[in-house]
């Protein structure tokens, strides 16, 4: 890698990220059924109908996976906790094997000198709660608060940081409007409610953890730069609409206690009654904000369609195997914008950034110069914003290892470590070795 640790300020944190359903192996250890199991079992939703039953077998390989993180030399590990592993029915009966697992994970990190950064929800909702309407049901905020309470009773005294929800846009829009993720709905009313309730659940969980005296609590949102297909005013406005739904709705809710007019134009009639009253919970102060960033979209007006009447176009930049354009400038734009418009002096983190590629093992080696280049390009942007005085305090790579890429199954390889999904053998890629060396420099 071009970049080295010494180019960053003292105390700047490097990390890697994963999530529970994508790696643990959900069929192990008494976890309850989730809406991702249901979604994957429905024909046409997931490539090859793959699900998280085995993941990367991380549940059974915890200690050696923690050793890998240690070998990489990162400072912090961002993992998520599965609601259904802790509470198989979503409420009530606790699965002690689940709590024990997360305790071993946190203690194992601390023993290795790595900071544990927990995310409480990374998308696998317990099926019994989905049966009750899931994110459409306002009660989910208190169910989530109760889950937070049970889990933090066990690990709350040892985690370094906590974010309640990973990427509210995915929970709300991607899953209830576009239908690409569980529960696979395409329904504007469900979308409005899910987008609002996910923020209410976020704020409720922050309050539960504050009442336990916890600190270093944050919010993690995802961002995609919206580029108008050309500079005609209607296309510029379409990109602004895309931007408002994707990049501004959740930030504005959490940090300003309001929603953007461009989103209310479509969703307001479908929001729950007295939604404005919930901002006192939603915008409960947090200690930091995390940004997940991968790509940009090229957007045009689509006047003959219903709101939000925009369409996505193929751009001309190089793409990853996700079909995502590589646009490092978007990362620095979003970091600067977050600080200027939403978060002020609050510490910011890049909580996810990385790329997928069809990486193969050849003679025991996985050569992935594309990934090293991607990370170098994005870290150069990170360095620029730090030099410009933005309080960016850390950068996490998605992901430690190849894993279950949701509706695309196991073929999209985002890892620094290659995983053979038949044997679960781990092989650190060349990018892993390059990063380890850069972090020692
Ligand atoms: C997300 C998620 C991860 C994904 C990763 C690649 O940002 O979508 O947090 O679960 O696997 O981003 O798509």
Domains defined for the chain, CATH in brackets: 5-440 (3.20.20.80)
Beta carbon of 398 within 6 Å of any ligand 1 atom: yes
Q: Which residues contact 29 (CB under 8 A, 6 or more apart)?
A: 59, 85, 95, 97, 98, 101
β-strand partners of 313: 298
Phi, psi dihedrals of residue 217, rounded to the nearest 5°: -105, 140
Q: State residue 402's pLDDT score.
A: 99
Beta carbon of 235 within 6 Å of any ligand 1 atom: no
Beta carbon of 414 within 6 Å of any ligand 1 atom: yes
Query: Which residue's alpha carbon is at the smallest distance from atom 6 of ligand 1?
Result: 405
Beta carbon of 79 within 6 Å of any ligand 1 atom: no
Task: Please give the distance, rounded to the nearest whole angstrom, from the Cα atom of residue 403 to the centre of ligand 1.
Answer: 10
Atom of ligand 1 at shortest distance to CA of 19?
Answer: 10
To test the pocket of ligand 1, the residue of 55, 167, 222, 352 to mutate (highest count of ligand atoms within 8 Å of its CB) is 352
Catalytic annotation on 167?
yes
Atom of ligand 1 at shortest distance to CA of 22?
Answer: 10
pLDDT per residue rounded down to tens, the chain (441 residues): 999 999 999 999 999 999 999 999 999 999 999 999 999 999 999 999 999 999 999 999 999 999 999 999 999 999 999 999 999 999 999 999 999 999 999 999 999 999 999 999 999 999 999 999 999 999 999 999 999 999 999 999 999 999 999 999 999 999 999 999 999 999 999 999 999 999 999 999 999 999 999 999 999 999 999 999 999 999 999 999 999 999 999 999 999 999 999 999 999 999 999 999 999 999 999 999 999 999 999 999 999 999 999 999 999 999 999 999 999 999 999 999 999 999 999 999 999 999 999 999 999 999 999 999 999 999 999 999 999 999 999 999 999 999 999 999 999 999 999 999 999 999 999 999 999 999 999
Spatial distance between the Cα atoms of 424 and 441, rounded to a whole number of angstroms:
31
Task: Please give the distance, rounded to the nearest whole angstrom, from the Cα atom of residue 231 to the centre of ligand 1.
Answer: 31
β-strand partners of 117: 78, 161
Whole-prediction pTM value?
0.98
Beta carbon of 295 within 6 Å of any ligand 1 atom: no
Q: Which residues contact 397 (CB under 8 A, 6 or more apart)?
A: 15, 16, 17, 352, 353, 354, 375, 416, 435
Spatial distance between the Cα atoms of 47 and 53, rounded to a whole number of angstroms:
15
Task: Say whether 393 sits in a helix, a strand or coil.
Answer: strand
Task: Please give the distance, rounded to the nearest whole angstrom, from the Cα atom of residue 334 to the centre of ligand 1.
Answer: 18
Atom of ligand 1 at shortest distance to CA of 356?
Answer: 6
Q: What is the DSSP letter of 313?
A: E
Tally Cβ neighbours within 10 Å of residue 307. Answer: 11
Q: Which of 24, 124, 167, 325 is catalytic?
A: 167
Q: State residue 335's pLDDT score.
A: 98
Q: Which residues contact 152 (CB under 8 A, 6 or more apart)?
A: 162, 208, 209, 212, 214
Beta carbon of 405 within 6 Å of any ligand 1 atom: yes
Q: Which residues contact 433 (CB under 8 A, 6 or more apart)?
A: none
Q: Which residues contact 115 (CB under 8 A, 6 or more apart)?
A: 13, 15, 75, 76, 77, 109, 160, 161
Tally Cβ neighbours within 10 Å of residue 340. Answer: 10
Q: State residue 95's pLDDT score.
A: 98
Contact between 223 and 350 (Cβ < 8 Å): no
Beta carbon of 39 within 6 Å of any ligand 1 atom: no
Atom of ligand 1 at shortest distance to CA of 170?
Answer: 8
Spatial distance between the Cα atoms of 362 and 288, rounded to a whole number of angstroms:
42
Task: Please give the distance, rounded to the nearest whole angstrom, from the Cα atom of residue 233 to the centre of ligand 1.
Answer: 32
Contact between 1 and 54 (Cβ < 8 Å): no
Beta carbon of 320 within 6 Å of any ligand 1 atom: no
């Amino acid at each position: 890698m071009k970049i080295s640790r010494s180019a960053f300020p003292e105390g700047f944190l490097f990390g890697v990220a994963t999530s529970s359903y994508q790696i643990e192996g959900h069929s192990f250890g008494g976890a309850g059924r989730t809406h991702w199991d249901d979604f994957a079992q429905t024909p046409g939703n997931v490539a090859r109908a793959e699900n998280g039953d085995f993941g990367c077998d991380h549940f059974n390989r915890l200690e050696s996976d923690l050793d890998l993180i240690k070998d990489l030399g990162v400072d912090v590990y961002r993992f998520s906790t599965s609601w259904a592993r802790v509470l198989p029915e979503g409420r009530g009966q606790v699965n002690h094997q689940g709590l024990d697992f997360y305790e071993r994970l946190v203690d194992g990190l601390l023993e290795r000198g790595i900071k544990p950064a927990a995310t409480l929800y990374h998308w696998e909702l317990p099926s019994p709660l989905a049966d009750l309407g899931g994110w459409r049901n306002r009660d989910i905020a208190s169910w989530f608060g109760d889950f937070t309470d049970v889990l933090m009773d066990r690990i709350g005294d040892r985690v370094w940081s906590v974010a309640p929800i990973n990427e509210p846009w995915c929970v709300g829009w991607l899953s209830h409007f576009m239908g690409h993720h569980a529960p696979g709905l395409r329904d504007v009313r469900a979308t409005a409610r899910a987008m609002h309730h996910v923020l209410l659940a976020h704020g409720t969980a922050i309050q539960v953890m504050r009442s336990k005296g916890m600190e270093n609590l944050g919010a993690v949102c995802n961002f995609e730069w919206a580029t108008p297909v050309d500079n005609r005013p209607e296309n510029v406005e379409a990109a602004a609409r895309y931007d408002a739904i994707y990049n501004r709705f959740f930030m504005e809710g959490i940090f300003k206690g309001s929603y953007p007019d461009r989103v209310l134009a479509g969703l307001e009639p479908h929001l729950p009654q007295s939604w404005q009253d919930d901002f006192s919970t939603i915008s409960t102060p947090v200690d930091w904000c995390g940004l997940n960033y991968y790509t940009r979209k090229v957007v045009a007006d689509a006047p003959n369609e219903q709101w939000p009447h925009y369409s996505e176009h193929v751009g001309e930049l190089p793409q990853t195997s996700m079909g995502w354009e590589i646009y490092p400038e978007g990362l620095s734009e979003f970091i600067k914008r977050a600080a200027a418009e939403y978060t002020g002096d609050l510490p910011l983190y890049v909580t996810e950034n990385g790329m997928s590629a069809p990486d193969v093992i050849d003679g025991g080696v996985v050569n992935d110069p594309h990934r090293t280049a991607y990370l170098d390009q994005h870290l150069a942007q990170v360095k620029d914003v730090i030099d410009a005085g933005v309080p960016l305090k850390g950068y996490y790579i998605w992901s430690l290892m190849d894993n279950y890429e949701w509706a695309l199954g196991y073929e999209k390889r985002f890892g620094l470590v290659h995983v053979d999904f038949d044997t679960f053998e781990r092989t650190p890629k060349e990018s892993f070795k390059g990063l380890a060396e850069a972090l020692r420099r």
